[in-house]
Amino acid sequence: MSEATKRAHREGRLKASWKYQYSKGSVPWNKGMEGFCPSPETQFKKGELVGDEHPSWKGGVRHPVSDCVILWAGSNKSQRRPKVVYEQNFGKLPKGHIVYHADGNKDNDEPDNLFAITRAELLQINRLGRK
């Protein structure tokens, strides 16, 4: 919100108009509910088809636009492919470290392109990369 808008609101020249704002003392419809499931018939049930048994199975690999490749690792579990490749080639990733792609290409998971660095080192690399 701009400073001019904030100032106009403080001075009373601009009123906040929230379409679905609760009035003071009203109670939300879901107060006290543990979890909301619109229909128990559509809720996931234990023993249903998962993974490669599911009709819409696409190989267990996701390619998000803003992240690295993600692999299916069991029911409700996933793993990042760079970490899997790193651990297969170099052993367990040290605590407090992340997998870094040396060439900057998040899809290039060749072992010689992956390095374990700390988040502090990543911060320094990202700062140096900016002009």
Distance CA 41, CA 48 (A): 13
- Check: CB of residue 101 under 8 Å from CB of residue 124: no
pLDDT at 118: 95
Beta strands in the chain (DSSP E): 61-62, 70-72, 78-80, 97-101, 114-118
The pTM for the full model equals 0.59
pLDDT at 131: 44
pLDDT at 60: 84
Walking along the chain (131 residues) 10 residues at a time, the average pLDDT comes out as 75 62 74 71 70 78 86 84 95 94 91 94 86 44
pLDDT at 57: 78
